[in-house]
Chain A
């Protein structure tokens, strides 16, 4: 990452306490089915948690009776990850005064005690990516946070860019109906559009796709600050783009500047030309949440992307108060033809990978954070319930009336 900016580590109480305790297994869980996350299902598998991390996962692990043991008549999986949301931000997901704010850190707006965070936990979501909306050309730095204990997995997950219409029309002025004159960046003393946006005039720069391209290209051609880290490939990007031509443009931009990361939006990513462009760019795609009126084409995009080898994850943006929408979106993708194993990866391992935190969360593997969910049955069956959720090895949620 960027050397000048210290990484924010895991600050949770759990890990602090775990460090005080003697080394050794603290929790053993046996479940009827343990789903590791790569398609492997271990019948009567055992998960061993130590120091808030996963120590072992397997079928034939003997239970050490000195330590806590839990038998679950259901399914055990890694916690789900919502790969794009404005959870816990109280509406302050975007700095409106300017459209280019690369150094803005979304993490500083995150309130772990927000009610939506608790709801997400109860729905089996153990981590979320919080990101700005697509209303800024460069909206700032995203973060990956846990839904319990206030843990920060990565305070600097991606740089959020936007190729979306919203980035050009935000600020209260539709192009063509300016009240007052937008400043001409070229006429200001230092030539920096960033300094001239509309805090004063009511209109912002840029207002066009061409202007947006020029502005972004200029910043990546001669990168400074956090953009330099992105240009060197140290930090991925999260690019908002909705219409097909916006997505195509985003992929072209990524290739031109050798960026990595994901596109957020892209409901028609299954279009053959869009798909080809995405594949060539190496970007992943963050889709959803799927609304009631979602077109079949965008539901089917999940299957098409996965077949083409493009990593997919799901967003919860706009539905932060209905976190079940994450799982519902995934189930609808399966109904539209996607492979359930791959869809489950999109909710866990691939989501972690697209957020650059696959070494910490997203799978059940030794060394990773012990973030897992006990389900009453198959999590891609909407009749299945969340019985309990563990974050950093601690029970963070248990369903009322559940046996434990």
Chain B
């Protein structure tokens, strides 16, 4: 079904079609260029999707009945730090280290923000608990569209363990009732060193418990220790909110002390400052939205070429828009700003598709246009990430959720 909108009117909520409006289960998308994020771009190619999956990708027009056309096609974008769908009630603050708690029961799939992400081309996000705890819990990868239920949206429940370094976990903390602090154990951290101490102790306890055996411990604590040990075994990445140099360093020191193979720093505005250290540690990096003045949280300075620097180090790089309300600051635009800072196009594409997918272990389903993967496909009216281009069509799980033919009426 085509909704012809009045010229120039892009009523987002209308343009995002209901499932019933586009219940086709097969589409052929033709484009001047197909950017697969898995190899070289294909000029004059097609992507065929069937039953929610990608059935073929290649040159030539492809065959099939329901044809969509666009200037360019890319995989759906993935944001590892979209910061939507949760509130401050996503974090269990009766403890500092809620490693065993999963965020999935705290996600509001009815929030209007999902649709905003979807129509701007973000088809999957990592949802993390808020950073009020030092270890907030297990983050999950979910799709941004489909029925608002956990079953329909969930891609991977325990995709990463969320932690935070810096001022956020200690913000607002005081000693109890104005009394002098008698012991470190009985209050929440109030400084960076307190935060770091809590984080190290959590890992220390988990390792000690494994050596001693955990027969007597509370089941929650056993589960918590096991989650932490999984991160040490490399079965689970840790994604740490760390913006300023000192916090990125703390993350690196922890990684090295406890031998955590997969550590991702989120925020990471100052990742450009100590490239050697970064390279030595082999971190994954998620960058915050571009700032014209360079100044971000924690007084960190976010140089415009930060993405290019990280990419040159050969580190996994992902970009984030932090769920921007402003259409000029969403994830497609972030990729453009990174290019302005020197990031090559192919790396920019990877940083919003296959890199984030790999970083949280969902690249078997998401992140590139390859046969058998989820049919999350974007249609563009020009070269992706150029400010003059926009996402005009979105397929999610093979369903047309933003119809490019409506935009073509403009």
Contact = CB atoms under 8 A, between A and B. Distances in A.
A91 interface: no
Contact of B176 (A176, A179, A252): A179
B328 interface: no
A345 to B, nearest CB: 29
A178 B188 CA distance: 9
20 contacts: A175-B89, A175-B132, A176-B130, A176-B132, A182-B95, A185-B95, A186-B220, A191-B218, A207-B89, A208-B90, A208-B92, A208-B106, A208-B129, A210-B92, A211-B98, A212-B105, A214-B105, A244-B148, A252-B150, A271-B110
A205 interface: yes
B221 A186 contact: yes
Q: Chain B CB within 10 Å — which of A180, A186, A252, A277 has the most?
A: A186
A105 interface: no
B381 interface: no
A228 B54 CA distance: 49
Contacts of B89: 165, 168-169, 175, 207-209
Contacts of B224: 186
Interface residues of B, dominant DSSP: loop
Interface stretch (B167-175, B243-251, B340-348): B167-175
Interface residues of A, number: 43
Interface of B: 88-96, 98, 101-111, 129-130, 132, 137, 147-150, 171-177, 186-188, 218-221, 224
Interface string A180-222: 1111111100010100000001111111111111100000000
A212 to B, nearest CB: 8
A232 interface: no
Contacts of B108: 243-245
B98 to A, nearest CB: 7
Given A176-B88, A178-B188, A186-B224, A214 B101 contact: yes
A179 B174 contact: yes
A168 B92 CA distance: 10
Given A180-B176, A209-B105, A248 B92 contact: no
B157 to A, nearest CB: 12
Interface in A106-160: none
A199 B173 CA distance: 19
A204 B148 contact: no
Interface string A257-298: 000000000000001011001000000000000000000000
A32 to B, nearest CB: 48
A248 B108 CA distance: 9
Contacts of A193: 94
B180 to A, nearest CB: 13
Contact of A180 (B149, B174, B221): B174
A213 B93 contact: no
Q: Chain B CB within 10 Å — which of A176, A183, A193, A202 has the most?
A: A176
Nearest to B177: A180
Given A182-B93, A243-B110, 13 more contacts: A175-B88, A175-B89, A176-B130, A176-B132, A177-B172, A182-B95, A186-B95, A203-B94, A205-B92, A209-B89, A213-B105, A245-B108, A248-B109
Contacts of A332: none
A319 interface: no
Nearest to A216: B105
Contacts of A214: 101, 105, 220
B101 A211 contact: yes
Contact of A211 (B92, B110, B177): B92
A214 to B, nearest CB: 6
Interface string A230-243: 00000000000001
Q: Chain B CB within 10 Å — which of A187, A207, A208 has the most?
A: A208
A207 B105 CA distance: 13
A385 interface: no
A176 B171 contact: yes
A214 B137 CA distance: 13
A197 to B, nearest CB: 9
B177 A179 contact: yes
Contacts of A201: 176
Contacts of A191: 218-220
B101 A176 contact: no
Contacts of A271: 110
Contacts of B129: 208, 210
A175 B186 CA distance: 18
A208 B220 contact: no
A249 interface: yes
Nearest to B173: A178
Contacts of A207: 89, 91-94
A178 B93 contact: yes
Nearest to B105: A213
Contacts of B171: 176
Given A245-B109, A252-B150, A206 B88 contact: no
Contacts of B96: 184
Nearest to A179: B174
Contact of A181 (B91, B172, B186): B186
A204 B92 CA distance: 10
Contacts of A204: 94
A164 to B, nearest CB: 10
A71 to B, nearest CB: 54
B106 A210 contact: yes
Contacts of A205: 92, 94
B357 to A, nearest CB: 25
A249 B132 CA distance: 23
B187 A181 contact: yes
B361 to A, nearest CB: 21
A248 B106 CA distance: 11
Contact of A178 (B111, B137, B150, B172): B172
Interface in A74-122: none
B337 to A, nearest CB: 31
Contacts of B104: 210
Contacts of B137: 210
Nearest to A209: B106
A202 to B, nearest CB: 7
A186 B106 contact: no
A273 B218 contact: no
A186 B218 contact: yes
Contacts of B91: 175, 207-208
B150 to A, nearest CB: 7
A180 B90 contact: no
B93 A245 contact: no
Nearest to B93: A207
Contact of A184 (B94, B111, B132, B147): B94
Contacts of B98: 208, 210-211
B88 A245 contact: no
Closest 3 CB pairs of A and B: A180-B176, A209-B106, A205-B94
Contacts of A213: 105
A311 B132 CA distance: 40
Contacts of A184: 94-96
B50 to A, nearest CB: 26
